[in-house]
Amino acid sequence: MRRLMNAAALAGLTSICSPAFADDDLSSIRAEIDAMRSEYQSRISELEARLAEAESRAANAEATANSAQRAVAAAPAVVPAPRQTVAASRPARTGDNAFNPAISVVLNGQYTASSEDPDGVGMPGFALDEEAGRPERGFNLGESEVVLTANIDPTLYGNLTFALTPEGEVEVEEAYIQTTALGGGVTLRGGRLFSGIGYLNEVHGHNWSFSDQPLPYRAFLGGQYGDDGVQMRWLAPLDQYVEFGAELYKGDSFPAGGAANGGTGTQAVWVRTGGDIGDSSSWLASASYMNAEAEDREIDGSLFTGSETLGIVSFVYKWAPGGNRRDRNLTLSGEYFFDTMDGDYDAVAVNLDRSGWYAQGVYQFRRRWSAGLRYAAMSPDNVPAALAGSALDADGLDPWAVTALLEFDTSEFGRLRAQFTHDETGPIENDEFRLQYTVIYGPHSAHRY
């Protein structure tokens, strides 16, 4: 275009300044201008043709897409394959794995030395379940686990945990399904499972801070309460963490027995709340209640028919500098138990109010190294004269025990532990020393707070 303007200006200037120019020179200039005009017109035509071609291709592509969309809409619905993602409304589960189900193994073994023979030793004032006694002397396997977990489909998750006992038996420890997409913060779980009461009850043994459960768990829950039943959880839509739970169980496990009330012998409810304190600290508090009905529950030849109601108040505090637990961290926890036993024990009417508590702390003072201390005590009740000398007769004793541990973690998946306990839960003092190893291999669920 600039060339065209220059030529026109030149033509004008020439006509003014040199009217004597020959006609053939003017004709030459006009011819050049016409050639330039023709060139630009050709380029414009070429661009218009390319634009028309592009619009045609776009129209054809849109028509093809619409046809494909109509074909998909007319085809039968296809159920999507189960995804390996986990709904946000429930705790994180076993991570991505090439297999379905994911399989993990926990190996747990120990050596135990004690000053008193553990056979037949109980806890005066409390009828202990067979699972709540002291460990055998010497080497034993402990309780190892094989765990199978999977997202069954987009709405259900499944867990199956086999326990390998020191006696070489295989038991079903947990076997349940759980919803993942109910919405509204509601989660349902059904099958065989550990109750959510208290702080430690639903924690598997390989994740305990000490090698054994505190005295109140042993006395009131047989170590851990697990049974066949259903559980409902509701996570409140609040900035503050608040979760409610309600449970109904068959009532075949201690402290229940005999599957009373048509197989609904145990009921439990609980509530938890917690939060952060700055960047380095957090806390969790909970309150739990359980009612367990027993029909001819037998322990060491003695029968009990009646009910046991149990209340638990729990508190946990955790600290790690800047929220980084890798090098240093501290966990303090404690629980108070209050139990009422009302019914007939060996045909003698009883109404006993008993309690117990523990407090413990575990401090990781450097990477992989931790030390812990725990104190636990029990308060039995007086029994009728007809039950003097029975398991419920404390004979003036208030059982207590203190435990210390030193732990070295070989990695996230391996642990070596040395634990010492001074135990005055019976008429004769007992000193107990344990060496324990725990290893985990295969994908494993994240541990609870």
Q: Report the pLDDT value the prediction gives residue 388, as an integer from 0 to 100.
A: 95
Whether 88 shows a pLDDT value over 50: the answer reads no
Question: Measured between alpha carbons, how far is 240 from 274 in angstroms, rounded to an integer?
Answer: 7
Any idea what DSSP says for residue 388? Answer: T
76 confidence band (pLDDT: 50, 70, 90): very low
Of 62-71, 74-83, 91-100, the range with the highest mean pLDDT is: 62-71
Whether 75 shows a pLDDT value over 70: the answer reads no
Q: Report the pLDDT value the prediction gives residue 38, as an integer from 0 to 100.
A: 65
User: Which of 426 and 308 is assigned the larger pLDDT?
Assistant: 308
57 close to 407: Cβ distance less than 8 angstroms: no
353 close to 322: Cβ distance less than 8 angstroms: no
Any idea what DSSP says for residue 426? Answer: S
Whether 348 shows a pLDDT value over 50: the answer reads yes
166 confidence band (pLDDT: 50, 70, 90): confident
Whether 355 shows a pLDDT value over 90: the answer reads yes
Whether 151 shows a pLDDT value over 70: the answer reads yes
Instruction: Please report, to the nearest 10 degrees, the dihedral formed by the alpha carbons of residues 423, 425, 429, 432 taken in order.
Output: -30
Of 39-53, 90-104, 301-315, the range with the highest mean pLDDT is: 301-315
Q: Report the pLDDT value the prediction gives residue 259, as an integer from 0 to 100.
A: 94
Q: Report the pLDDT value the prediction gives residue 84, as an integer from 0 to 100.
A: 38
Query: What b/e readout covers 16-39, taking b as 16+ CB neighbours within 10 angstroms?
Result: eeeeeeeeeeeeebeeeeeeeeee
Question: Measured between alpha carbons, how far is 105 from 290 in angstroms, rounded to an integer?
Answer: 32
User: Which of 299 and 57 is assigned the larger pLDDT?
Assistant: 299
* 72 burial via Cβ count (<10 Å: 0-12, 13-18, 19+): exposed
Whether 2 shows a pLDDT value over 50: the answer reads no
| Cα→Cα distances 235→89, 122, 241, Å | 8, 40, 8
Q: Report the pLDDT value the prediction gives residue 442, as an integer from 0 to 100.
A: 85
User: Which of 130 and 275 is assigned the larger pLDDT?
Assistant: 275
Question: Measured between alpha carbons, how far is 204 from 226 in angstroms, rounded to an integer?
Answer: 11
Average pLDDT of the chain, as a whole number: 86
- List pLDDT tens digits, range 264-294: 999 999 999 999 999 999 999 999 999 999 9
Q: Which secondary-structure segment (H or E) carries 157?
A: strand 156-164
Q: Which residue has the tokens 């999507």?
A: 80
pTM above 0.75, yes or no: yes
Cα of first residue to Cα of last residue in the chain, in angstroms, is: 77
Q: Report the pLDDT value the prediction gives residue 67, as an integer from 0 to 100.
A: 54
Q: Report the pLDDT value the prediction gives residue 390, as an integer from 0 to 100.
A: 95
Q: Which secondary-structure segment (H or E) carries 292?
A: strand 281-299
- Of the candidates 267, 250, 272, 268, which has an alpha carbon nearest to the alpha carbon of residue 259? 250
Here the tokens at position 422 are 């001074």
- List pLDDT tens digits, range 369-394: 999 999 999 999 999 999 999 999 99
Q: Report the pLDDT value the prediction gives residue 384, as an integer from 0 to 100.
A: 95
Largest CA distance in the chain: 149
Q: Report the pLDDT value the prediction gives residue 152, as an integer from 0 to 100.
A: 93
Phi, psi values for residue 389, rounded to 5°: 90, -5
Question: Measured between alpha carbons, how far is 404 from 212 in angstroms, rounded to an integer?
Answer: 12
CB half-sphere exposure, 447, CA atoms < 13 A? 13
Here the tokens at position 130 are 């067979």
- List pLDDT tens digits, range 199-244: 999 999 999 999 999 999 999 999 999 999 999 999 999 999 999 9
- Of the chain, the percentage scoring pLDDT greater than 70 comes to 78
| Cα→Cα distances 133→79, 229, 332, 373, Å | 51, 26, 26, 21
- List pLDDT tens digits, range 9-67: 444 434 444 444 445 556 666 666 666 666 666 667 776 777 767 766 766 666 555 55
| Cα→Cα distances 14→9, 19, 32, 42, 382, Å | 8, 7, 15, 29, 132
6 confidence band (pLDDT: 50, 70, 90): very low
263 close to 301: Cβ distance less than 8 angstroms: no
Q: Report the pLDDT value the prediction gives residue 66, as an integer from 0 to 100.
A: 57
Here the tokens at position 415 are 């642990």
Question: Measured between alpha carbons, how far is 237 from 123 in angstroms, rounded to an integer?
Answer: 44
Whether 418 shows a pLDDT value over 50: the answer reads yes
Q: Report the pLDDT value the prediction gives residue 142, as an integer from 0 to 100.
A: 84
Query: ∠ CA(311), CA(363), CA(161), 5° rounding?
Result: 55
Whether 131 shows a pLDDT value over 70: the answer reads yes
User: How far is residue 45 CA from its own chain's centroid?
Assistant: 70
158 close to 141: Cβ distance less than 8 angstroms: no
Any idea what DSSP says for residue 126? Answer: B
Q: Report the pLDDT value the prediction gives residue 183, as an integer from 0 to 100.
A: 93
380 close to 354: Cβ distance less than 8 angstroms: yes
Any idea what DSSP says for residue 243? Answer: E
Q: Which secondary-structure segment (H or E) carries 17?
A: helix 2-17
Q: What does the pLDDT average to over 329-352?
A: 98
DSSP helix/strand/coil, 85: coil
